[in-house]
Amino acid sequence: MPHIVKSFDIELGRLEEGLARMGGLAETQLAAAIEALEERDSGLAARVMADDGKVDAGESFINEQTVKVLALRAPVADDLRTVVAALKVAGEIERIADLAANAAKRSLVLNQLPPVAPMRSLIRLGRLALELVKEVLDSYFNHDADRALALRERDQELDDVYSALFREILTYMMEDPRTITPCSHLMFIAKNLERIGDHATNIAELTYYRATGKPVTEERTKRDVSAFIGAEPRE
């Protein structure tokens, strides 16, 4: 139901549009970063790095708009949750775009070195992360709490691929020390992509909160075991 005061709806709409624009931009950035890695396209990578500023500008807009609505409208109930969620989601999107830009930056170095085999798995990890980000943002803009909750579990898949990739990269480095430089960059990019999954998970939780007013309380199963690889965890 619309608000009696129409300008309130207009301002909330502006917030939602700004966030949607930002989300779309971050998706594009991540997709381009993955493509730049796969195609060894340094020109595309450079563009991703240059465009990161646009996402930052989007976040500044959301920050200003949020403070304005809070100060002038004193929103409550679902309006309040929308405004608070927008502020936090904008922060998550900015981090996602930032990690994508960092992956693009590292691809510039990788492009000057011979290709390494684990790149295939890295691309797979990237596609999974991109898909998760897309679906999570869709659920956010559709107020779909159930879908958000289901997507939150999908991050496990990312963790599994990441842990496997971590082992794979280690194996390559041990077999051929000449791959250590590119493989180290790959390792960092993999970590970036895994972090993107965590930010997407946060957006899923904010989607649930915004729609229902309840925080997500269930503990998510953590499957990223890479922190233990190389040594047995002590009891």
What is the binding site for other proteins (CB under 8 A)?
1-5, 8, 74-81, 212-214
How far is residue 163's CA from residue 112's CA, in Å, rounded to a whole number?
26
Residue type present at position 185: H
How far is residue 148's CA from residue 146's CA, in Å, rounded to a whole number?
5
Q: Taking the complex as a whole, how short is the minimal distance between the CB of residue 107 and other proteins, in angstroms?
A: 44
Is 35 or 79 the residue whose CB approaches other proteins more closely? 79
Q: Taking the complex as a whole, how short is the minimal distance between the CB of residue 11 and other proteins, in angstroms?
A: 13
Question: What does the radius of gyration of the chain's CA atoms come to, in whole angstroms?
Answer: 20
Is 6 or 234 the residue whose CB approaches other proteins more closely? 6
Q: Taking the complex as a whole, how short is the minimal distance between the CB of residue 203 and other proteins, in angstroms?
A: 19
Is 2 or 230 the residue whose CB approaches other proteins more closely? 2
Is 75 or 118 the residue whose CB approaches other proteins more closely? 75
The pair of structure tokens assigned to 178 is 């000449």
The pair of structure tokens assigned to 170 is 């280690």
- 81 CB contacts (<8 Å, ≥6 apart)? 209, 210, 213
Q: Taking the complex as a whole, how short is the minimal distance between the CB of residue 220 and other proteins, in angstroms?
A: 22
